[in-house]
């Protein structure tokens, strides 16, 4: 699953992958869980050479489902962009 969001002047691309780290989900029955893979670029510019970020839930475990992973990746991208705008 993959989504592209535009937030202010950046493009936040979030894709979801099954977690392969071996870390078990906190909730039985959910399998190994999901991670968000995020790439942030400035709209209209070539892709950044920086490696994509792999994000899990706040408790260092994978997200329980794909929707949580998408929204977690998007929220993290927005916060990073706001932090960068505030520091410039």
Q: How many angstroms from the chain centroid is the CA of residue 71?
A: 8
* Local structure of residue 88 (DSSP, 8 states): -
For the chain, the domain total comes to: 1
From the number of C-beta atoms within 10 Å of its C-beta (0-12, 13-18, 19+), residue 64 rates as middle
Higher pLDDT, 25 or 18: 18
Containing structural domain, residue 22: 2-87
Cα separation, 67 vs 64, whole angstroms: 9
pLDDT computed for residue 8 by the predictor: 85
Sequence-distant (6+) residues with CB within 8 A of 9 are: 42, 43
Cα separation, 12 vs 73, whole angstroms: 9
pTM (two decimals): 0.76
Residue-wise pLDDT tens digits, 31-59:
579 999 999 888 667 666 667 888 888 77
- Residue carrying the six token digits 């070539």: 46
């Amino acid at each position: 699953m993959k989504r592209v969001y535009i937030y202010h002047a950046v493009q936040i691309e979030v894709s979801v992958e099954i977690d392969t780290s071996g870390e078990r989900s906190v909730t039985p029955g959910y399998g190994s869980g999901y991670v968000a893979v995020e790439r942030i670029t400035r709209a209209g510019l070539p892709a950044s050479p920086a490696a994509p970020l792999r994000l899990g839930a706040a408790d260092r475990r994978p997200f329980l489902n794909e929707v949580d992973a998408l929204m977690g990746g998007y929220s993290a991208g927005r916060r990073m962009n706001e932090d960068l705008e505030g520091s410039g």
